[in-house]
Structure formats: C-alpha cells, structure tokens
A and B are shown apart, each in its own frame.
Chain A
Amino acid sequence: MKDCKEIAQLIDRSDWEKLSFKERLSLRMHNAMCGQCRGYKKYSHIFKSLFGDITKAQECLTCDEKEEMKKRMSS
C-alpha cells in the first residue's frame, strides 16, 4: 500500500501523463480511504486548470509599442 507522499506524486503526475494500470489502481484504492489525498487531487486539478487559462492568454506587444522599441533601439 502506498503512503500519502507517494500518492501525492502520482496525483501530480496524473495531471500531466497517463499513469499505468497499477498506479491508477493504487491511487483509487488509497483515495477511497484517504480524504486528504482526495482533497489534494481535487486541488491539483483545479490548480492546473488555472494555468491552462493563463497560457491561453497570449501577451503581445501593440504596434505602437513595437514602433517605440524600434525607435529606442535605433537611437
């Protein structure tokens, strides 16, 4: 049986990569009994979704800012 530390790592990884069948099974079994890890799993997914939106928000320079940069660099 994995402890909470190992399960936390599985939870972190599961946000990014597919876990093996064995890992998914131990995660499920552990979470069935552990409220703290269930809470962390929930938090972890929410947290990742926050960043998903941040990366979608592309920051770009305006045309004026680009012109200003060109001017400053040529002077």
Chain B
Amino acid sequence: MAQKKEDINLNDWVDQYSDMLFNYTANRVNDRDLAKDLVQDTFFSALKAWERFEQKSTVKTWLFSILKRKIIDHWRQQQSRKTSPISQFTSNDENKNNWIEATTPYSDVNETEAKIENTELRGALMSCIELLPEKQRGIFIDKFVDNKDSEEICNEYDITSSNFWVIIHRAKIQLKGCLDKKWFN
C-alpha cells in the first residue's frame, strides 16, 4: 500500500537517510554547509514529487537519484562560474607528462597514508576533483570514492570499458598536474 504524502514525516527521513546522503554529498562538493543544503533540498524535492514516485525502488534509492541530479546541477553552475579550468594545471601535450619514478611525489605509500590525515591535502584533492569536467568527475568519483564496479559505471554512463579506462587515466593525469601545482609545489 503506497504511503500518502500527508503521512510522510520529514523528521523520520532526516533520522534515517540524512547521514548517508550527507556523506555522499560531502565527498562530492567539499563544502559541509553546501552539502547540508543539498541534502535538505533533496528532502523538499522528494516530498514535493512524492505523488510521482511510483515506489518501484526504495525511498533511499529514489532520494539518492534526486540528490545526484542536484549535485550535477551544482557542478554545472560551478563550471559556468569557473575562472581557472583544470587545463591551466596540465601540459598542452599529454605526452610530456613525466612519469619517471624519481618524480613521483612519494617513494613510500605509508608516508603518503600519513599525509592524507592532513585535511589540507584532502581539501586540495577535492578541490582538484571539482575542476574536472562534469562527466569525468562523476565517473572518477563513482570509481575512486564510491568504489563502484566498473561495469556498473559503464552502464550508468553508457560508455565502453575501454572508454571508461581512458577517462580514468585522463582524470588521474589532470589531478596529478593539479596536485603538483596546488599541493606538492
């Protein structure tokens, strides 16, 4: 039996879903207040659209789909305001990227793991991710932050496996350039 709009208690949604929605958002927008606002907007939009919810999926899945659209909208707005594209941090010729072992930022993974505790590095990393083009960013976050299955991501974005790995590779190269500039230098 479908639940009526009048019976929905937003407070229950906050208790049940706000933490997972917030965690998902905070990993994507790198701004706590903005993440809170997006989660709140998601609840409002869901309530507004409740009559259209066919209840074929769970409320959680539905809320996540609304939230994802809101995050993408936010990225789009941000992209249009952006003054420093990521290309600023990368070489014009990708072949010029230097992968000589000696130039890799750290020689020891443990050392790196210690560094990540530094929230500034996390901030730099997230702000570099924000500079990636929308589609690339979505795919990259799905893989690296959410640990989603590659096949699932390919289906979601309607891309081939080969395309997927090319996108991941390009994102990594761009992030390296950005991190070199913002963090390591």
Contact = CB atoms under 8 A, between A and B. Distances in A.
A72 B33 CA distance: 14
Nearest to A72: B40
User: B interface, by DSSP: helix, strand, loop or mixed?
Assistant: helix
Contacts, number: 107
Counting contact residues on chain B (CB < 8 A from A), the size range is 35 or more
B103 A39 contact: yes
Nearest to A49: B109
Interface in A16-75: 16-17, 35-40, 42-51, 53-55, 57-61, 65-66, 69-70, 72-74
Given A39-B100, A69-B36, A50 B112 contact: yes
B101 A59 contact: no
A61 B22 contact: yes
Interface of B: 10-11, 14-15, 18-19, 22-23, 26-27, 32, 35-36, 39-40, 43-44, 98-106, 109, 112-113, 116-117, 121-122, 125, 143-147, 150, 162, 165-166, 168-169, 172, 175-176
